[in-house]
A = this chain, B = another copy of it.
Amino acid sequence: MTSHLPQPVRSDARDNRARILDAARAVFGEEGLSAPMREVARHAGVGPATLYRHFPTKQALFAETFAEQRRACHAAVRDALTDSNPWHGFRSLIERICELHAHSRGFADAFMTAFPEAMDFAADRERTLHAVRELARRAQKTGQLRPGFVVDDLVLMLMAHRGLQDTPRAARVTASRRFAAYMIEAFSAAPATGAPTPLPPAPRLQLTHSPSTP
């Protein structure tokens, strides 16, 4: 175990690093991972070189930028597993993950994308999926989660959820909530006979402008 002696870090460096991370969260959260590094640098009030000194590559910046959201995801899974009602835990998990993905546009991409190896997302993912598998098993036992469900279905829906992210922020979270509600409806074994579950408000969606129009 390497004991880091508190190598004197210059204050401006530490400040800039923090400002860069804030800027990255804002920019990538609003414009997605395709936002130029220069935009982050401008937003942080530093030069490109400074940005690259702190984070040698764009992916390195991604990893640090979304560390917090990753922790939030872990927490959501943990909470879902410890919920005394598995089906309620399962539903809450879906809602929380969708909310997280909807609030920063880049995070869903970072989360659902297998990066070359920079991040240890892979390991993460394996453990997480295992946990969800267990949760699903329990929720199926109560008869509330439909029997045909497999964890890949959640992955499927989360990948689909990414399709909502090319949408203005305001509509995005509303759309995301409605999508989550439909997802839960689709996964549930048998909606209350007669009265269907009420849904959150429907978003007024407008089409994307524009995927390849420089």
Contacts and interface: CB of A to CB of B under 8 A. Distances in A.
Interface of A: 33-34, 58-59, 109, 112-116, 125, 146-148, 150, 152-153, 155-157, 159-164, 166-167, 175, 178-179, 182-183, 185-187, 189-191, 193-194, 196, 198-199, 202-213
B194 A113 contact: no
B115 A210 contact: yes
16 contacts: A34-B211, A34-B212, A109-B211, A115-B213, A116-B213, A147-B196, A150-B202, A152-B205, A156-B178, A156-B205, A157-B182, A159-B163, A160-B160, A190-B194, A190-B196, A193-B193
Number of copies of this chain in the oligomer? 2
B34 A146 contact: no
Given A208-B113, A212-B58, A199 B148 contact: yes
Given A114-B209, A116-B213, A156 B185 contact: no
Closest 4 CB pairs of A and B: A163-B163, A114-B207, A162-B163, A182-B186
